[in-house]
Chains A and B, each alone.
Chain A
Amino acid sequence: MELAKKLIKVTVNGEPRELWIKQNITLLDLLRDHLGLTGAKMSCISNSCGACTVILDDMAVKSCSVLAMQVDGKEVLTVEGLAKDSKLHPLQQAFIEHVAFQCGFCTPGKLMSAKALLDENPQPTEEELRRDMEGNLCRCTGYQKYIEAIMDVAQHPDKYGAKEG
């Protein structure tokens, strides 16, 4: 059966969008295929890896497991929306400074998880941070430098410039 596309209104990285989409696509498909925002990645098919993490109404979610139709009327922030006016977000700067990433495939997801976490809990302990980053798999780095970078931002909020909201 050929089903009609439906219109949804979603704000992505601060830009209001109106999109006609198939009803059976995920938020990840919407971002990558409709908007060309390829930062969020698909790595697994079992809702396990977190490479597709974006921020939906201030919450980190795995975009592969959110039906696109559910984001109608909502706000989505992706890695492409982190830097503002040519200035990198403190987490992006910290990741660079600490040489936190290697292949970079999981990096967008990690940035979005970390941002959501720090926005909610600006001063996590390392244990809290490690537990809260469980949903973001990485195979290249062993996580160490990512954790150091995020803790650095948490413990020195002014080091990388004023934190964006």
Chain B
Amino acid sequence: MAEFRVVNKGIPRKDSIEKVTGQAKYTFDIVLPEMLYAKILRSPHAHARIVNIDTSKAEKLPGVKAVITGKDTQGMRFGFVDTPRYPCEQPVIAEDRVRFIGESVAAVAAVDEDTANEALDLIDIEYEPIPAVFDPEEAMKEGAPQIHGEQIPAPGRKCAWQDWGVARAARSYNPVNNIGASVNIGYGDSEKGFADADYIREDTWVVPRTNHAAMEPHGAVASYNPLTGFMDVWLSHMGYELKRYWISKTLGIPISKIRVRKTFVGGAFGGKAQVFDHEIIAPFLSRKTGKPVKLILPRDEVFTSTNNSIALKINVKKGVKKDGTIVGQHVKLISDMGAYRGSVPVCLFLCHSMRDAIYNIPNLTHEGVGAYTNKSTTMAKRGHGSQQMTTAIESQMDWIAEDLGLDPVEFRLKNLRRKGDVLPNRDTLNSYGLPDCVKKVVEASNWKEKRGKLGPGRGIGLAVSAMFNGSGYWPFTAGSIVRMNHDGTVTLYMGQAEFGQGPTTTTCQLVAEELGLNVEDINLVDGDSELCPIDYSNWLSGGMFVSCKAGLIAAQDLKQQILKIAAEMLEENVEDLEMLDRRVYIKADPEEGVAFDEILRYSIQRHDGDPLIGKGFCKPVPEIEFYPSLSKGSGRWTDAYSFTASVAEVSIDAETGRTKVEHIWIGDDCGREINTAICQGQLQSQAVMGMGDALFEEVMFSEGRTINANFVDYEIPRAFDVPKITTIDASDPDPNGPFGAKEIGECARAAVIGSIVNAVYDATKVKIMSLPLHPEKIFRGLAQKAEA
């Protein structure tokens, strides 16, 4: 086991002082001189034509500075996916039609929030409701209301993929029967696999939408300078490049004149990655009024009008031999997409790719469709398909084991891939800690003593999951700079957004380790698109593996520069030198050395003013130019996978159906825990969030209206609900990760959900084929079982 000075330690975070003193500024906190406050008027109808909008009364209200509608933003479209096959189709403000309750139909900027709200009440809109459809399978039937017509890009408009140079053939898309996305991936011959199987099982799960429920609501502050043409924005976000691209694309402002200023972000979990209508509306209003504009969404609009997690109906058919060898799998997905595609086209693909590194399945078919419905859009939530698929697949694994009399642990271990395997898409498993994850949680939880022996109403369950580590997606690189300061400290420039996951801290640890420094010796310039280089972002699971790694590479570059100068100064070879505490010394004679500040001065004086700046960059998957095709899913995808095994122990109150999670064990392979405390925090967080998904979180609708759009009716776990959580480091360092490190933010949640689902089944022997496992469902299941 390697010994590190700074890496693999639970040191305090770099943003500690700001966060414990209230000094940390979030978008929510930004106040600018003469700032206006904006509010959005939202559609009360799930599906309707807009016949007429009269904003005259609102415009006359004293204190109102601008009122805009779809006429002002006519033709502006945005979306998370914008390809020739799937052109983005969401208007910034609804134009002739509204397609979900909560869609933007107008916006107001006024001197204060009260006035803005009053102005909204004065906007008269005449709607003509048209038939709506809320269920994806109903939506796909003949005769269902068509939510979109043919999606023809505006003449001359290039889609995002074309702008990024990664588009394939261009043609318009016609969503027949409301099907807005589809995927068909396969290898081998699953029918042949099933023919060879001794046993086949088929199960169907329904996983509903849940909400990210980050503590900071979505919002934006925009400030346009008409004299310079610069647009400054403050956003609650996960990465500035995609936001800059879309604000530029829709508003026609050169991307280089759009500056995303640093903000702390109050949580994201995938729900703040895409660009939102309000993030285009705020800059639009600022440009229109010439004043800064603040637009913060109240909590109910976060529920109704940003996005929820992907809702899926998952049918899994699996064929196995008597001895448990998996020989075939066929997955069919139907996604309740909502009124616009969101990230469903990506998720349908990820549902396959997130799982493919786990089990060796020689014959596999994976197909899926996303159907438009008159509901809000859906988007990645911490796992983005992994948790839905893990629920369906890992529960079925237990049932197959039960049906065939196999041990569920051995059944899984038997079918796991091996380190070094090349996957069907040609990704290589250079690191593969999953078997160790399984063994460690099985041991830590006393699985063998408990499984089948806990007594009535108690159960224990196991599940495994995997996660990628970045893939080819714009801007395809992370850049970083580390420069020497006058006093021998360094300053690190990194663009990553800080939304709790701690990239500034961990990158400082990487840099400190490389340069022999303490993290206190590293200043930070972060999160600002003008001050920092191109940033890869933090919603592609590539924070550590790609973005932080760029910081390490920059430090390595600076290290070489320092050593070269020091070698010259000391008249030694570079290989004979070491650095520690802002000093380079001769390994064989540590008293002999030169301090960093001396090295800097020498470099400046003797090397034409060279101030010693280290440059680093990292491309997520160097040999590919883009993500695999979303519809066919073939081709290299990622350079490393992370893995988790989770065991959960539950007790069920049979009289009420209430589940108490007693203990969760998580064995996680994140390559290397750079900051052990942050890593534990991530795993604990995923355990608790996963528990919420498994047992009670669900966004509920009635005729397209979100009926639980608040924290009273949408319950998230609180301090008293938290079970005992044991986190176990089962890391297998990846040769391509910074000090071997991989992601830790997203993988575990799916495994926790699966393990709770399996534990509840173990306790009740009731198959509840939908999440969440609400007490009432368990109660009914037990009652039906008792009657039978």
Interface residues of A (CB under 8 A from B): 32, 36-46, 48-49, 51, 78-80, 82-83, 88, 92, 95-99, 101-108, 111, 129-131, 133-134, 136-147
Whether A140 contacts B215 by the Cβ 8 Å rule is yes
Q: Which of A78, A96, A105, A145 contacts B681 (CB 8 A)?
A: A145
Q: Which of A45, A140, A144 contacts B500 (CB 8 A)?
A: A140
Whether B299 contacts A43 by the Cβ 8 Å rule is yes
Q: Which of A39, A83, A99, A138 contacts B677 (CB 8 A)?
A: A99
* C-alpha spacing A34/B267, complex, angstroms: 26
* C-alpha spacing A88/B23, complex, angstroms: 13
> How big is the B interface, by class?
35 or more
Q: Which of B12, B22, B26, B264 contacts A96 (CB 8 A)?
A: B12
Q: Which of A41, A111, A142 contacts B28 (CB 8 A)?
A: A41
Whether A49 contacts B681 by the Cβ 8 Å rule is no
Given contacts A99-B12, A104-B264, contact A145 B21 (CB under 8 A): no
Whether A103 contacts B20 by the Cβ 8 Å rule is no
Q: Which of A43, A99, A131, A136 contacts B678 (CB 8 A)?
A: A99
The answer to whether the Cβ of B607 comes within 8 Å of any Cβ in the partner chain is no
Provide a sorted-by-A list of 17 A–B residue pairs whose CB atoms are within 8 angstroms: A37-B22, A41-B26, A45-B298, A46-B710, A78-B22, A79-B22, A99-B12, A99-B681, A101-B20, A102-B678, A102-B681, A136-B719, A137-B716, A138-B719, A139-B215, A140-B500, A142-B681
Whether A139 contacts B21 by the Cβ 8 Å rule is no
B20, B681, B684, B717: which has the most chain A beta carbons within 10 Å? B20
Chain A interface helix/strand/loop/mixed: loop
In the complex, which residues of chain B have a beta carbon less than 8 angstroms from the beta carbon of A41?
A: 26, 28, 215-216, 266
Whether B21 contacts A83 by the Cβ 8 Å rule is yes
Residue of B nearest to A111 (CB): B20
A38, A129, A138, A142: which has the most chain B beta carbons within 10 Å? A142
Whether B299 contacts A46 by the Cβ 8 Å rule is yes
Whether A96 contacts B16 by the Cβ 8 Å rule is yes
Given contacts A99-B675, A130-B720, 10 further A-B contacts (CB under 8 A): A37-B22, A38-B28, A41-B216, A44-B710, A48-B712, A107-B19, A111-B20, A134-B718, A138-B215, A145-B680
Whether A142 contacts B215 by the Cβ 8 Å rule is no
In the complex, which residues of chain A have a beta carbon less than 8 angstroms from the beta carbon of B678?
A: 99, 102
* C-alpha spacing A128/B501, complex, angstroms: 29
Chain A to chain B: the 3 pairs with minimum beta-carbon distance, closest first: A39-B22, A105-B266, A103-B500
Whether B267 contacts A139 by the Cβ 8 Å rule is yes
Interface stretch, picked from B71-79, B152-160, B685-693, is: B685-693
In the complex, which residues of chain A have a beta carbon less than 8 angstroms from the beta carbon of B25?
A: 38
Residue of B nearest to A37 (CB): B22
Q: Give the distance to chain A from B214, nearest Cβ to Cβ, in Å.
A: 6
Contact with A along B135-152 (1 / 0, CB 8 A): 000000000000000000
Whether A97 contacts B719 by the Cβ 8 Å rule is no
Given contacts A48-B712, A103-B264, contact A79 B269 (CB under 8 A): no
* C-alpha spacing A105/B19, complex, angstroms: 8
Q: Which of A78, A82, A111, A134 contacts B719 (CB 8 A)?
A: A134
Q: Which of B188-239 contact A (CB under 8 A)?
A: 212-217
Q: Which of B214, B684, B687 contacts A145 (CB 8 A)?
A: B684
Given contacts A46-B712, A88-B20, A130-B720, contact A142 B688 (CB under 8 A): yes
Whether B677 contacts A107 by the Cβ 8 Å rule is no
* C-alpha spacing A133/B689, complex, angstroms: 18
Residue of B nearest to A107 (CB): B19
Whether B13 contacts A99 by the Cβ 8 Å rule is yes
Q: Which of A37, A42, A79, A96 contacts B13 (CB 8 A)?
A: A96
Residue of B nearest to A25 (CB): B114
In the complex, which residues of chain A have a beta carbon less than 8 angstroms from the beta carbon of B684?
A: 141-145
* C-alpha spacing A141/B265, complex, angstroms: 14
In the complex, which residues of chain B have a beta carbon less than 8 angstroms from the beta carbon of A51?
A: 215
* C-alpha spacing A40/B720, complex, angstroms: 23
Q: Give the distance to chain B from A83, nearest Cβ to Cβ, in Å.
A: 6
Whether B21 contacts A99 by the Cβ 8 Å rule is no
Q: Which of A40, A103, A131 contacts B265 (CB 8 A)?
A: A103
Q: Which of B19, B212, B300, B722 contacts A104 (CB 8 A)?
A: B19
In the complex, which residues of chain B have a beta carbon less than 8 angstroms from the beta carbon of A95?
A: 16, 20
The answer to whether the Cβ of B711 comes within 8 Å of any Cβ in the partner chain is yes
Whether B22 contacts A139 by the Cβ 8 Å rule is no
Whether A143 contacts B719 by the Cβ 8 Å rule is yes
Q: Which of B15, B216, B711 contacts A105 (CB 8 A)?
A: B216
In the complex, which residues of chain A have a beta carbon less than 8 angstroms from the beta carbon of B10?
A: 99
Whether A98 contacts B21 by the Cβ 8 Å rule is no
Q: Give the distance to chain B from A128, nearest Cβ to Cβ, in Å.
A: 10
Given contacts A96-B13, A99-B681, A143-B719, contact A46 B711 (CB under 8 A): yes
Residue of B nearest to A81 (CB): B22
In the complex, which residues of chain A have a beta carbon less than 8 angstroms from the beta carbon of B251?
A: none
Residue of B nearest to A29 (CB): B113
In the complex, which residues of chain B have a beta carbon less than 8 angstroms from the beta carbon of A39?
A: 21-23
Q: Which of A38, A130, A147 contacts B29 (CB 8 A)?
A: A38
* C-alpha spacing A21/B216, complex, angstroms: 26
In the complex, which residues of chain A have a beta carbon less than 8 angstroms from the beta carbon of B216?
A: 41, 43, 103, 105
Whether B31 contacts A102 by the Cβ 8 Å rule is no
Whether B215 contacts A103 by the Cβ 8 Å rule is yes
Whether B710 contacts A48 by the Cβ 8 Å rule is yes
Contact with A along B1-26 (1 / 0, CB 8 A): 00000000010110111111111111
Residue of A nearest to B724 (CB): A144
In the complex, which residues of chain A have a beta carbon less than 8 angstroms from the beta carbon of B23?
A: 39, 80
In the complex, which residues of chain A have a beta carbon less than 8 angstroms from the beta carbon of B624?
A: none
The answer to whether the Cβ of B111 comes within 8 Å of any Cβ in the partner chain is no
Q: Give the distance to chain A from B23, nearest Cβ to Cβ, in Å.
A: 8
Contact with A along B733-747 (1 / 0, CB 8 A): 000000000000000
Whether B500 contacts A102 by the Cβ 8 Å rule is yes
The answer to whether the Cβ of B725 comes within 8 Å of any Cβ in the partner chain is yes
* C-alpha spacing A19/B141, complex, angstroms: 63
* C-alpha spacing A80/B29, complex, angstroms: 14
* C-alpha spacing A73/B627, complex, angstroms: 62
Whether A142 contacts B299 by the Cβ 8 Å rule is no
Whether A134 contacts B13 by the Cβ 8 Å rule is no
* C-alpha spacing A80/B22, complex, angstroms: 6
In the complex, which residues of chain A have a beta carbon less than 8 angstroms from the beta carbon of B498?
A: 103
In the complex, which residues of chain A have a beta carbon less than 8 angstroms from the beta carbon of B688?
A: 142-143
The answer to whether the Cβ of B180 comes within 8 Å of any Cβ in the partner chain is no
Whether A103 contacts B720 by the Cβ 8 Å rule is no
* C-alpha spacing A46/B680, complex, angstroms: 31
The answer to whether the Cβ of B502 comes within 8 Å of any Cβ in the partner chain is yes
Q: Which of A38, A136, A142 contacts B722 (CB 8 A)?
A: A142
* C-alpha spacing A88/B24, complex, angstroms: 15
Q: Give the distance to chain B from A91, nearest Cβ to Cβ, in Å.
A: 8
Q: Which of B15, B21, B300, B686 contacts A82 (CB 8 A)?
A: B21
* C-alpha spacing A137/B680, complex, angstroms: 19
* C-alpha spacing A129/B719, complex, angstroms: 9
* C-alpha spacing A108/B21, complex, angstroms: 7
Whether B710 contacts A145 by the Cβ 8 Å rule is no
B217, B264, B265, B718: which has the most chain A beta carbons within 10 Å? B718
Q: Give the distance to chain B from A72, nearest Cβ to Cβ, in Å.
A: 22
* C-alpha spacing A105/B23, complex, angstroms: 11
The answer to whether the Cβ of B761 comes within 8 Å of any Cβ in the partner chain is no
* C-alpha spacing A107/B12, complex, angstroms: 15
In the complex, which residues of chain A have a beta carbon less than 8 angstroms from the beta carbon of B299?
A: 43-46
Whether A103 contacts B267 by the Cβ 8 Å rule is yes
Whether A45 contacts B300 by the Cβ 8 Å rule is yes
* C-alpha spacing A107/B17, complex, angstroms: 11
Q: Give the distance to chain A from B16, nearest Cβ to Cβ, in Å.
A: 4
The answer to whether the Cβ of B134 comes within 8 Å of any Cβ in the partner chain is no
In the complex, which residues of chain A have a beta carbon less than 8 angstroms from the beta carbon of B24?
A: 104
